[in-house]
Amino acid sequence: MNPEFIKTICPYCGTGCGLIIKVEDGVAVATYPDREHPVSRGSLCIKGWSAHEFINHPDRLTDPLLRKGDTFQKIPWDEAIPMAALKLRETAAKYGGDAIGGLSSAKCTNEENYLFQKLIRMAFKTNNVDHCARLCHAPTTVAMVQALGSGAMTNSISDLAGAECIFVIGSNAAESHPIIMGEIYKAADKGATIIAVDPRETAVTRNAKIHLRINPGTDIPLLCGMMRHIIDEGLHNENFIRARMEGFEDLNEFLHLWPVKRAAEECGINEEIIRNVAEIYAKVKESAIIYCMGITQHACGTANVLAICDLAMLCGHVGTEHSGIYPLRGQNNVQGACDMGALPNVYPGYQSVSDSEIQNKFQNAWGDTLSNKPGLTVTEIIGLAGKDIRAAYIMAENPALSDPDTNHVLESLKAFDFLIVQDIFLTETAKFAHLVFPSSCFAEKSGTFTNTERRFQLLRKTVAPPGNAKEDFEILCLLGNALGLDFSYKNPSEVMDEIASLAPAYGGISFDRLEREGLQWPCPDLEHPGTRYLHKDRFTRGKGLFVVPEHTPPKELPDEDYPYYLSTGRMFAHYHTGTMTRRSSFLNREVEEAYAEINPEDAALLDVKDGEKIKITTRRGSIITNARITKRVSKGCIFAPFHFAEARANMLTNPALDPRSKIPEFKVCAADVRKESQDG
């Protein structure tokens, strides 16, 4: 039989590159780049090239599993679904619907996320639904909605190539979003100035014209010092501010607290460099800011993003073709999961659950009463396990590795009266479940993903799920019907039509249109071509708002007992909790084992050689990992990727929360490091 070549979308990062899967005799055997794709245009990173590898892995789940003591027993779907519905119903009857929590997934499609939040909201009359955006870009949503009215990337990825200055802060795009890094290189080739702000040395900082190696957690002092200098030099865009902004006086007043001298001292860099980058950013016509989790994963994450918005709006660098603010989304569909209302305070399209008009709209459409009380977040649902939350339904999320202070998370996962986990492998989280639903990966289903530039894209089914595993869409419909809801959807396209009817920004999206092209929201009607960049003549909220970004230092700083800064993050060969990439022989050949970066001077003091074992300890726990000696980290700093189950970096991280977005402070905590003796 001739092989088939089927176009679909990469399952890894939020760039959303186009893939072509080669299928032979019903098996996905290779991945190729899609030359016609509007974002990736024939390129893929190393993860994209190996996207087919985990699909056929022997560890794939093939049947529903029921816990029997310490082991699992295979059961048929016609036992598993009624049992799940009964247990959830009994829990809700005994403790109330607010005792149920649901974690939806940035790896699942828009339609699956829509059905998941609808199921939790309708069946249990609770808004306790959230997903891992809480752990990466919750501050983006909170801050950008407040300042601009829309919590999404303002421009398109391809717009970057036309920018004259690109200011990259808290993003290692070269490893976590390599295809977007390609656009940065293109801009640099055309003469753009690349400025990188990062306490670490990375491929981004090495390719930047200027690298500001600031102290960890001092982004606000830097951004405020830059803004103070821009105003003092009269480089702010007065016409833009007068016509389109509010709150300038308050911001200007506040910035008197941040003269460049004080900012430089706080950041540990030279005053002149702050003045220089402020002038470069402000003076050119089209400047773009890229940021990622180096900005958001702090206890002051929302204030960090507000400071970025302030800087961009101060210079009028929003609402034009090649300027803008680029939050780079981590997972493939984290934008879509947020858009679809897998959040505790909003329905699809960011419509507030507390607004009575919106509540009525959804009650009328779904034919049932709904709660107007905002629900709990990921960290609250896990933290209240066995107390306020008695049962949980987790779809394709892995909090056992992804959440901070994982020792505490593991205790919580044991504490649920009933836990259902739906996933493609028996993940570290699924091992705690009472009932496991085997589901399908990106290549085994149809639906849509929305990439980081707001682009809805069609995912095409290329192969069948293994054994008796089912598509998440089908599992949600079966469970919804078993819970007494009318989830008689024939296909994901029908779900998309329902989404379009309820969320105005997606009103013009349909599978028919997506067959021909991706569409960027807002796309309010079927004639609308989609929106390449936002806030052109008017901000989504009307006028843009300057908000004072109060600086709070990291909650834990090095001291006598824990003298190092520890930071965690991603690296190029692996992705998130490693569930998929660590089952790729190709990617494992690149990086097989956990490691932590340590500066040569620190290594010498500890008498540690490259590759030797070190023990990293924080107030939450310890891990033993391999030392990678490198000047990429400054003296006194350690960096550990979080993808490795055998050395869980998140066992060490600080669960202290940003009060507004409730993101934990993954990026900075205090640690001790010792050489691990050979005998342990």
Q: Which is nearer to ligand SF4, 45 or 318 (CB)?
A: 45
Which residue's Cβ has the minimum distance to ligand SF4?
48
In the complex, minimum distance from the CB of residue 11 to ligand SF4, in angstroms, rounded to a whole number: 7
Residue 576 near ligand SF4 by CB under 6 A = no
In the complex, minimum distance from the CB of residue 18 to ligand SF4, in angstroms, rounded to a whole number: 9
CB contact set of 630 (below 8 Å; sequence gap of 6+): 597, 598, 599, 600
Q: Which is nearer to ligand SF4, 13 or 396 (CB)?
A: 13
From residue 22 to residue 51, the character string flagging contacts with ligand SF4 as x (rule: CB under 6 A) and all else as - is: ------------------x---xx-xx---
Segment near ligand SF4 (CB under 6 A); pick from 174-182, 470-478, 619-627, 648-656: 174-182
Segment near ligand SF4 (CB under 6 A); pick from 12-20, 128-136, 269-277, 668-676: 12-20
Segment near ligand SF4 (CB under 6 A); pick from 13-21, 265-273, 290-298, 477-485: 13-21
Residue 136 near ligand SF4 by CB under 6 A = no
Q: Which is nearer to ligand SF4, 40 or 109 (CB)?
A: 40
Total site size for ligand SF4, rule CB under 6 A: 14
Of 424, 579, 464, the closest CA to residue 62 belongs to 424
In this structure, are residues 188 and 194 in contact, taking their beta carbons and an 8 Å threshold? yes
Question: What's the token pair of residue 579?
Answer: 């569930």
Q: Which is nearer to ligand SF4, 327 or 554 (CB)?
A: 327
Segment near ligand SF4 (CB under 6 A); pick from 5-13, 68-76, 215-223, 484-492: 5-13
In this structure, are residues 352 and 345 in contact, taking their beta carbons and an 8 Å threshold? yes
In the complex, minimum distance from the CB of residue 48 to ligand SF4, in angstroms, rounded to a whole number: 2
From residue 47 to residue 86, the character string flagging contacts with ligand SF4 as x (rule: CB under 6 A) and all else as - is: xx--------------------------------------
In the complex, minimum distance from the CB of residue 8 to ligand SF4, in angstroms, rounded to a whole number: 11
Question: What's the token pair of residue 667?
Answer: 């990026």
Q: Which is nearer to ligand SF4, 177 or 648 (CB)?
A: 177
64, 102, 178, 447: which one binds ligand SF4 (CB under 6 A): 178
Segment near ligand SF4 (CB under 6 A); pick from 171-179, 274-282, 300-308, 495-503: 171-179
Residue 359 near ligand SF4 by CB under 6 A = no
Of 421, 356, 360, 369, the closest CA to residue 121 belongs to 369
Looking at the DSSP assignment, which residues form a beta bridge with residue 564?
671
196-255 binders of ligand SF4 (CB under 6 A):
none
For 468, list phi and psi in degrees, rounded to 5.
-100, 15
Residue 177 near ligand SF4 by CB under 6 A = yes
In the complex, minimum distance from the CB of residue 17 to ligand SF4, in angstroms, rounded to a whole number: 3
Q: Which is nearer to ligand SF4, 393 or 456 (CB)?
A: 456
Q: Which is nearer to ligand SF4, 12 or 666 (CB)?
A: 12
In the complex, minimum distance from the CB of residue 460 to ligand SF4, in angstroms, rounded to a whole number: 16
Q: Which is nearer to ligand SF4, 46 or 645 (CB)?
A: 46
CB contact set of 393 (below 8 Å; sequence gap of 6+): 84, 88, 100, 101, 102, 103, 120, 420, 422
Segment near ligand SF4 (CB under 6 A); pick from 14-22, 249-257, 405-413, 550-558: 14-22
Place of tokens 């300042």: 147
The residue type of 57 is: H
Report the alpha-carbon distance of residue 339 to residue 350 in Å, rounded: 7
Q: Which is nearer to ligand SF4, 44 or 637 (CB)?
A: 44
* 3-state SS, one letter per residue, for 153-200: CCCCHHHHHHCCEEEEECCCHHHHCHHHHHHHHHHHHCCCEEEEECCC
Q: Which is nearer to ligand SF4, 520 or 625 (CB)?
A: 520
In this structure, are residues 556 and 654 in contact, taking their beta carbons and an 8 Å threshold? yes
Q: Which is nearer to ligand SF4, 48 or 336 (CB)?
A: 48
Burial 508-525 (b: 16+ CB within 10 A, else e): bbbbebbeeebbbbbbbe
Residue 395 near ligand SF4 by CB under 6 A = no
Output the DSSP codes for 258-320. Answer: --HHHHHHHHTS-HHHHHHHHHHHHHSS-EEEEE-HHHHSSTTHHHHHHHHHHHHHHTT-SSS
In the complex, minimum distance from the CB of residue 448 to ligand SF4, in angstroms, rounded to a whole number: 15
CA distances from 29 to 4, 53, 60, 110 (A): 10, 8, 16, 26
Report the alpha-carbon distance of residue 497 to residue 499 in Å, rounded: 5
84, 88, 143, 179: which one binds ligand SF4 (CB under 6 A): 179
Segment near ligand SF4 (CB under 6 A); pick from 176-184, 391-399, 428-436, 648-656: 176-184
In the complex, minimum distance from the CB of residue 10 to ligand SF4, in angstroms, rounded to a whole number: 3
Residue 670 near ligand SF4 by CB under 6 A = no
Residue 15 near ligand SF4 by CB under 6 A = yes
In the complex, minimum distance from the CB of residue 316 to ligand SF4, in angstroms, rounded to a whole number: 31
In this structure, are residues 282 and 235 in contact, taking their beta carbons and an 8 Å threshold? yes
In the complex, minimum distance from the CB of residue 332 to ligand SF4, in angstroms, rounded to a whole number: 7
8, 17, 151, 382: which one binds ligand SF4 (CB under 6 A): 17
Report the alpha-carbon distance of residue 638 to residue 98 in Å, rounded: 41
The residue type of 607 is: D
Q: What length does the chain have?
A: 680
In the complex, minimum distance from the CB of residue 602 to ligand SF4, in angstroms, rounded to a whole number: 32
Report the alpha-carbon distance of residue 562 to residue 671 in Å, rounded: 4
∠ CA 666-427-83, rounded to 5°: 120
537-566 binders of ligand SF4 (CB under 6 A):
none
10, 307, 353, 652: which one binds ligand SF4 (CB under 6 A): 10
CB contact set of 65 (below 8 Å; sequence gap of 6+): 72, 73, 74, 75, 426, 433, 435, 436, 438
Residue 330 near ligand SF4 by CB under 6 A = no
CA distances from 37 to 109, 118, 518 (A): 19, 32, 9
Residue 13 near ligand SF4 by CB under 6 A = yes
Question: What's the token pair of residue 74?
Answer: 């295979």
Q: What is the DSSP letter of 634?
A: P
Place of tokens 């054994």: 467
Residue 16 near ligand SF4 by CB under 6 A = yes
CB contact set of 2 (below 8 Å; sequence gap of 6+): none
The contact set with ligand SF4 (CB under 6 A) reads 10, 12-13, 15-17, 40, 44-45, 47-48, 177-179
